[in-house]
Every structure is written in structure tokens, then in C-alpha cells.
Chain A
Amino acid sequence: MTVLETIAPLANREPSRAWRKLRANKGAVVGLVIILFFAVLAAMAPLLPIADPLATSWTALRKAPSAAHWFGTDDLGRDILSRMIWGAQSSLLAGVVSVVIAVIIGVPFGVISGYFGGWADLVISRVTDALLALPFLITAIALAAFLGPSLMNAMIAIGLSAMPIFVRLTRGQVLAVKTEDYVEGARAVGLGHLDIMWRYILPNVLAPIIVQATLTVATAIIAEASLSFLGLGQQAPAPSWGSMLNVAKNFLTQAPWMAMWPGAAIFLVVMGFNLLGDGLRDALDPREA
């Protein structure tokens, strides 16, 4: 083991303190519990004793919730509870994967732009400004339509649309951290640019990025629901909360439960991520006692 191996470029300052602060924050804990609940449910979908989410039944079309179908059935007689649980997979996946895409592309560009300045900064900032001028959802829809309808493409489209926020956020943070003496000190001991960016800049700008990421997960879940609602996300017959809402809109008066469950689930998960994001923001801020 080398001495330097222990330096993970993660928010590893006072890990226990941040965790303690997060646990003390009731809202954040509620958010975390909600997210964990849905994540476990989605992961366990194949193991749970629930109906086949794709099995149609002509004898049970649009049935209200009952002992046989706790959440009711949809227009093709499929069990909504089962579709909700399977749909959680694609919704959560879409939320997390698209944010990972946005972070993986956006943060390096932001670091380069902020650290080097000059023409690199000029180009990256101008492109980011241009992308930020486009409304998030419109960009996502256009990209998804261009890439073709599928869940993966929807995730890419959402990720790319959310990326400019991370470029700008990271760049701003880097500009602030860059002026700290320890960055100059790292140059003074002869470290290269990569070392400085990786070990001196990145760990110190990560906290606000993590927070922004959790908040963006919520946005991405809504965006995936919107894309699926438009038929650009998860494709029939596979379930996702957005596509379920999409179908349900035609039966709002006859079968309101079809819209109610996915609507409530999206609401809960988004709230969960927002609560967690707020909690993380406070927990990772060293200025807050």
C-alpha cells in the first residue's frame, strides 16, 4: 500500500461528521428511506410474489383496487401494482444513469474550463451558455427523438441536456478553489496539472456537485416520465411510471387509479431525492456546525 493510495478524490473530509449531520436531519432521513424503499422494491421485483406485469386479462379491464388487484388493473387488464414495481426499475435507473452521464461529461469539462482558463474556458463556457439557453425538457425531447425511442436513448438525451448545469457549477467552484494557497503550493512542489486537478481541485469542489446531482436525479425522473409519456422513453409493453401515466391520461374519468399510483410514486421519489439533496447540502457544508 502506498501512502498516497489513501487519498480518494471523494468528499472524504470528516466522513463521520457529515454522516452524523445527515442523520440528525429528519428530512434527509425521510428522503433516504423513501429512496431506499423504492430501490429495494425495484431490485426485488423478480423475487416478489406479484403478477406478471405484462400478462393481459380481458376479464379484468380497468378494475378498481380490490383484494385480487391491490392497485387495480389497467386498460389491458394488467396488474398495476406489479407494473408499478417493475416500472420503478426503469424510473430509478433513468434518474440515476442520466445524472451519471451528465456528471461524467460535465464535471471534467467544468474542471478544465475553470482550471486552465484562456481559450479552452472561452470555448467551453460559450457552448455551455448556448446549451443552457435551450429549455431542458425541449432539448431532451429533441435529442431523444433524434436518437430514436428507447429507454437507453432517453437516458442519454436527459443526461446530455442536464450536463451544462454541471459544467457551469463545476467551473465556478474550480475558480474559487483555484485561488487557494494549497493549489499554488501544489505547483510550488512541482506537481503536474493532472495531479493538481485530481487531488487538489476535484475533492474540494465535489460537495456542491454531489448535492446538485441528487437534485438533478429528481428532475431526470420527471423528464423520463415526460419522455415516456410522449412515447420517447420506455417502450410498450415494458412498464415505466411515465408511460403508465401516458396511457392513464385517456381514462382519467373512468379509471382515475391508473393515473393516481404512478403520479404518487413519481411525487414521492422526487420528493425523496429533493429532501436528500437538501440534507446533503447542509451536511457537506463545513461552515454549518
Chain B
Amino acid sequence: MADLPILSVRNLTTSFLSGGVWKSVVRDVSFDVRPGETVAIVGESGSGKSVTSLSIMRLLAPGFSRIEGSILLNDRDLLALSEKEMRGVRGNEASMIFQEPMTSLNPIFTIGRQICEVLTRHKGMSRQEARAETIRLLEKVRIPNAGARFNDYPHQFSGGMRQRVMIAMALASRPRLLIADEPTTALDVTIQGQILDLIKVLQEEEDMSVLFITHDMGVVAEIADRTVVMYRGQQVEAGPTDEIFQRGQHPYTRALLAAVPRLGSMQGRKWPTRFPVVDIATGETMEPSEVAGTVARGMTPILAVKNLVARFPVRSGILGRQTGSVHAVENLSFDLFQGETLSLVGESGCGKSTTGRSILRLVEPTDGEIHLDGYDILRLDQPGLRRMRKSVQMIFQDPFSSLNPRMKVGSTIAEPFVKHKLGTAGQAREKACDLLEQVGLSSTMMDRYPHEFSGGQRQRIAIARALSLDPKVIVADESVSALDVSIKAQVCNLLLDLQQRLNLAFLFISHDMAVVERVSHRVAVMYLGEIIEIGPRAAIFDNPQHDYTKKLMAAVPVPDTARRGIRRNISNDELRSPVRPVGYQPPARTYRHVSEGHLVQIA
């Protein structure tokens, strides 16, 4: 056993000064990272995983934080170093990449200059040497045509490409340790696959160790040799990734794994199925139940979208002349039946959100027809539009911005009921109480403000508000995407409960294939504003026809350690832009009939 650990953390405790008292947010965390090894720290929000990584780099505000324990990097105690010596460590012996590739590069310098700076500062290279090395690094992170892009600014790169630039910058000093703090969380799933591949390749080539911070068990299974599970500031379990996944000891680990949506877990099941619930105290699992027989097929669809088109002009120049259009939605048609969940899946810019918002006329579509519960949506006047909103409601992605922070939750839930004059104030209050109970909260919470609730609770409140008009259709726009896995499972279960109880139809908009598989009756895959494949869930997931559908599914990380080290060898494609020049006519599309209700675009 020759390998001394690169990084050795012992009894790390980090506290923050808050209101005059020290509160520990990370307690007694110990782990090693050995040469060439990848260690993942996994946990949900508030688990202290990011604070751990920031503590290692000593990037916390000195006056308001206190780090105790020992952090040895290459046998040097980082906590004993002066701030000046620490600067020599950061970006040199250990580098860090962050979650938000959109904001972690300085927008006013070219990317070449930003990487050169690291080289001239830490490695003492001359300008020419640094330039040559920078181009080598950009090639290393597989940026196409690297030499030509040296003088480009960050805004000229896509999110995935920017993350590559960040990685190139982190590698510039040939660090022994790379700390990656949720590096793929903000990226689309196919781009995430590319970046994960890249990190694996680079780790081999450069022989570095990686400390990978993530909330995604799928990513962990795929990339980590060893795993540290954190929960509320404590390290609940640590060990080889296989052990953790196969024989997790702590109930929380098991709960977390049970809550992770797994692609392919629905094989052989007919109906959407609730997530299993694990009691964190005892570790006992309750078997999930199916949601059977809600779909009213054969009747008139509750929502029918025909040839929907939404284009937005792109203007530029002083005179604001139209130079092109964003073809957000192109010739989209689908039906949704009562009690059914149709999922729209796709990556950023595929038009799935625009479709959802067009149905509520929150954006004005360019052309097409939408029939919902007897309303011809696109021909409604203002009063008609307001009446129509009783039939369809929306749940947004971010529970932190979807509730008015200055309004008590009771009023928030009762407001639509009162405004549509569906009853007296007393009835509105009763309704709000009832809805709060229905979504699993207590009616005693009526007089609290949104900031007093957690993200999952807020999303429940948003759902209660959407239900206050007794709508028939709910457009759920990435409604569970921003939630932690365990909360995500609970909210999905809630939506399924409500569907069974109230016979709701959901238009479930999501980029998360695993969740979609769990909750949908039918699935439509969107790409560049068009549906490229639509069909029953089982048909789409078991027998995908379109190349893009296959690629999308291959890119999803699955929490199965057997897949560790897989290379997807996804080509370095970018997501294409839906911006077209003026006068662009989209080609007519034809679809091939695969099986009952399963259609795939062929040209």
C-alpha cells in the first residue's frame, strides 16, 4: 500500500457565525482521496457537501466562518497556511470547477487570456509558451477548432462548452486534485454525458484525483470509486461505491437510493407507479402502488392541440429590424385525455415550455388550434380567457419564485377561488384549509408566509393554489426538477395521488427521463420545436425509434454501479439553435406508424 492519500480530511467541522452564535453546518467529516481516485460527496441541499468543498479550498469568508479539524493536501496542512500561501495552492495544487458555467467565467476577457493568466501566474510561463499551452489544453478538453477560438469571449460559447473551458482552466496548472462542485447540474442531459466522459478521460490522461460533489446518485454510480454520503452536515456513511449502493447501512442512504428515479425501472409495468417510501428513522420500505385506470380513452380529449406554431421575432440593429425568428414550436399536435399524463420531454430550447405556456395563453402562439374543455383557446377574448383558466392551471419549476413572498399562504391558495367568485370568503377559507390538507400540509399553516416553508412544502402550496379552481388539466412545467430527490419522489407521489382522486389530466413537461418514465401514460419527445416521437410510455422507453430519443436515453446517468466507467462516446454535438432566418419555411414532416399510438418522425 504505497499510495499516500493526496487529500486527507480529518474531523472537519465548519461553523458559521449567525446572529452572534457559531452554528456548525458540517460536523466531523473525515475521508481520504488517493492518487488517481474519484471520491464523490453526495447529499441533498443543506447536507453541507458544498461547504465541505469550500472549506477544503478555504474559500469561506474568514470572519464569519470557522474551520476545525485537519485538511492535508500532499501532506501539508492547509488550515495552517497563511492566506498568501493558500493562494499558491488554489488553482495550482488543487483546482475547482463550479456548477454555473454561465457565471464562473469573467465575461469581459477572452477565454484564451483567462487561461493564459493561470499559466503565467502559477507556472511562470512566457506569453508565447502560455498561448501554446492554452491551445493544447483547449484541444484536450475537446473544444472543436481550439486555435481559432482562443480570442473568443465566454458569451460566444454554449453552456457545455463553457464548462469545458472551465475544466481547461482548472487543468492548466496540472493539479493533483480537481474538486468539481456539481459541474454538470446546470447542463442538459446529453451535454452532461459529454462532460462526465471528458472528466473520466482527463483523469486517466493526467493521473489526477477528483473530488466530485453532487446530488445525483446516477452520476455517483457512474463516476466514483468511493462515496461519502452526507445528511444534515454529518457524514452518515462512507465506503466503496459498490458497497454503498449494494449494502448501504444507514437508513438515509437507503432512502436516498430508493427515491432516485431509475431509468428502466418501469419495465413490465402498465400504469404510472408511485415511488417507494423509506422511513428514514427505521429504514423500512413501503412498496409503491400503481395508479391504475384513470385514463378516459375513447372520449373526446380534454385537451387537443393541432398544428401549434409559436415563433418569436429576433430583432437587431438600431432600427430593430427583424433578422430572424426563434421557431420555438413548429407544427405541434397532440391530444390529452382526462385522467391521463402526457409528458413532453426534451432539452433546453426544444419548445416544451413554450407549448405549455401557449396552452394557457401566457404566450401568444403564431398559429394553430388549441381546444380545451370546450374552449377554443386561441380565439378567446379577455373575459373568456379568464373563465377558461378555471379549466387549466399551471405549476411552475421554481417553488422559490412561484409564490408571492408578501402574501400569506392561506390567501395565496384562496385567492383564485375568491377572484373567480366561486363562493363566499368563508367558503374560500374552508377550501384553502381543505386543499392544504390534501397536499399533505396542515391547515394551521394558513397564516404563514412562503419563506417559512421549505422548497418541497412551497411546491405543495403551489399545487394547492393550482387546485383551488378545480381545474381539469394541469400543466406541470418542470415542477419537480428543482427539488431534492427525496422531496421529488414525494411530490411526484402527491401528483399521482391527486390524479387518482380528482381524475386530473397532466401535461408533464420535464427534461428528466427517469421521472417521466415513472409518472407518464404517454410520452412525446421534442426536438427543435417539433415532436419527433410520441407514443405510450412503454413503447417509447422499451422500443425507441428516433436517433435523438435513443441518444437522450443513453445519456441519462443510472444509479447502478455496474455502469461505472462506461463511456458513452457521445459525439461532441451542440444543442442546435431554433433561430432561423426571415422567411424560413419549415419542411413538411411525415411520421411512421410503429405500433398502436406510437409515431416517429422520419423526415
Contact = CB atoms under 8 A, between A and B. Distances in A.
A73 interface: no
Interface stretch (B113-121, B184-192, B407-415, B569-577): B407-415
A66 interface: no
Contacts of B402: 180-182, 185
Interface in B395-449: 396-398, 401-408, 410-411, 414-416, 418-420, 425, 428-429, 432, 449
A190 B388 CA distance: 8
B428 A3 contact: yes
Contacts of B451: 13-14, 286
Given A189-B393, A190-B386, A4 B416 contact: no
Interface string A140-154: 000000000000000
A195 B389 CA distance: 16
Contact of A3 (B396, B414, B420): B414
A13 B406 CA distance: 5
Contacts of A180: 401-402
A10 B143 CA distance: 52
A203 B411 CA distance: 15
Contact of A4 (B415, B449, B469): B415
B360 interface: yes
B429 A188 contact: no
Contact of A199 (B18, B404, B468): B404
Contacts of A204: 404-406
Interface residues of A, number: 30
Contact of A181 (B396, B406, B428): B396
A43 to B, nearest CB: 32
B465 interface: yes
B401 A7 contact: no
B362 interface: yes
B385 interface: yes
B469 A189 contact: yes
Contact of B419 (A1, A6, A7, A189): A189
B589 to A, nearest CB: 31
Given A3-B418, A6-B408, A188 B425 contact: no
Contacts of A11: 406
Interface in A162-193: 180-182, 184-192
A185 B362 CA distance: 9
B94 interface: no
Contact of B411 (A4, A181, A286, A289): A4
Contact of B425 (A1, A189, A200): A1
A3 B394 CA distance: 23
A184 B396 contact: yes
A185 B396 contact: yes
A178 to B, nearest CB: 12
Nearest to B429: A3
A217 to B, nearest CB: 24
A225 B6 CA distance: 70
B365 to A, nearest CB: 16
A2 interface: yes
Interface in A1-42: 1-4, 6-7, 9, 11-14
Nearest to A183: B404
B390 interface: yes
Given A7-B407, A200-B404, A289-B19, A14 B362 contact: no
B469 A3 contact: no
A194 B397 CA distance: 25
A187 B362 contact: yes
B433 to A, nearest CB: 11
Contacts of A12: 406
Interface string A66-83: 000000000000000000
Nearest to A184: B362
Given A181-B396, A187-B362, A189-B465, A6 B411 contact: yes
B419 A181 contact: no
B478 to A, nearest CB: 11
A184 B407 CA distance: 15
A94 to B, nearest CB: 32
Contacts of B407: 7, 199, 203
Contact of A185 (B390, B394, B419, B425): B394
A7 B389 contact: no
B398 A3 contact: no
Interface string A211-251: 00000000000000000000000000000000000000000
A181 B418 contact: no
A182 B449 contact: no
Max chain B Cβ within 10 angstroms of own Cβ: one of A6, A187, A188, A195: A188
Nearest to B388: A190
Interface string B368-401: 0000000000000000011101100110111001
23 contacts: A2-B428, A3-B410, A3-B411, A3-B418, A3-B432, A6-B408, A6-B411, A11-B406, A182-B405, A184-B362, A186-B404, A189-B389, A189-B393, A189-B416, A189-B468, A190-B419, A191-B416, A191-B419, A192-B386, A203-B406, A204-B404, A204-B405, A204-B406
Interface of A: 1-4, 6-7, 9, 11-14, 180-182, 184-192, 195, 199-200, 203-204, 286, 289
Ordered nearest first, which 7 A-B pairs have the shortest CB separation? A190-B389, A203-B406, A181-B402, A2-B425, A189-B416, A190-B386, A181-B396
Given A3-B414, A181-B397, A189-B469, 10 more contacts: A2-B428, A4-B418, A7-B407, A7-B408, A13-B406, A190-B420, A199-B404, A203-B406, A204-B406, A286-B451
